[in-house]
Amino acid sequence: MIESHATAHEVHGHPALQHHFENMEQQREAGTLGMWIFLVTEIMFFGGMFLAYTLYRSFYPAAFASASNHLDITLGAVNTGVLILSSFTMALAVYFTQIGKQRPQILCLVLTLVLGLTFLGIKAVEYHDKYEDRLIPGHLIPGRSFGPEVAHEGDHDPHKLHLLPGATVRQVELFYWIYFAMTGMHALHMVIGAGLLTFLIIYSAKGRYDPEYHSPVEVIGLYWHFVDIVWIFLFPLLYLLGRHMEHG
């Protein structure tokens, strides 16, 4: 039998309570679960690309090692540090929101955003270097199709590609195809994350979040950590192959 129950009309609750939820707890639970499930779909999405990477690395190990060796490990490592630090500042932002300290919260969010933009800036530098060295695959850049200069024996020009025995330029192009697809997709997610952070900063400044209601901060924090984790997998798989080889 249907019995009477306090309706949402009678208890207005928190101003951020959406009308179809019974209470803030339910809303928070739904939002968090929703973000976790979304992240699972992202794992499946990136997973397809990781599968392609795994397969072609096993087919063409020498080419992948040569190409990976040619990436700038310094920039990649700095970017890794930047992202890990940004995850730390993001976690701090969530913490400060939970204890209601608005100024440190906003500061940490801003720091996270700055670090994220730094990451993207360094990525832009890397991409530009690839453009200079004619490593953009296929004919994506009209008039500048894939065609790196191959270094010969004894040539240590960092702009030239050293091919290990068994590697061909065509296979290296496949590596760069996967490199740009994966880091590009990752960068797209970073850009979206930067946008979300901007919203968070603006709303935080308006005092929208407090210890009772801050699930957007938590949920976007989850997203940010996920994007960080994807990079933590990408970095060794893309940058650290064949580093024991002599060629730089």
Q: What is the binding site for other proteins (CB under 8 A)?
A: 1-5, 7-8, 19-22, 26, 29-30, 33-34, 37-38, 40-42, 44-45, 47-49, 51-52, 55-56, 60-62, 137-140, 165-168, 170-171, 173-174, 177, 181
Nearer to other proteins, 20 or 206 (CB): 20
Round to whole Å and give the CA distance between 241 and 64: 7
User: Nearest distance from residue 68's CB to other proteins, in Å?
Assistant: 16
User: Nearest distance from residue 215's CB to other proteins, in Å?
Assistant: 12
With 0-12 / 13-18 / 19 or more C-beta atoms within 10 angstroms meaning exposed / middle / buried, residue 138 is: exposed
User: Nearest distance from residue 79's CB to other proteins, in Å?
Assistant: 24
User: Nearest distance from residue 20's CB to other proteins, in Å?
Assistant: 4
Nearer to other proteins, 22 or 126 (CB): 22
Round to whole Å and give the CA distance between 208 and 144: 49
Nearer to other proteins, 42 or 126 (CB): 42
Nearer to other proteins, 93 or 219 (CB): 219
Nearer to other proteins, 78 or 169 (CB): 169
User: Nearest distance from residue 10's CB to other proteins, in Å?
Assistant: 10
Nearer to other proteins, 38 or 199 (CB): 38
87, two tokens: 């995850």
User: Nearest distance from residue 139's CB to other proteins, in Å?
Assistant: 7
With 0-12 / 13-18 / 19 or more C-beta atoms within 10 angstroms meaning exposed / middle / buried, residue 60 is: buried
CA of 213: how far to CAs of 137, 145, 183, in Å? 47, 52, 34
* Amino acid type, 65: A
Secondary structure (3-state) at 16: coil
Q: Specify whether the CB–CB gap between 136 and 144 falls below 8 A.
A: yes
The answer to whether the Cα torsion of 115, 120, 123, 128 is positive or negative is negative
Q: Specify whether the CB–CB gap between 227 and 193 falls below 8 A.
A: yes
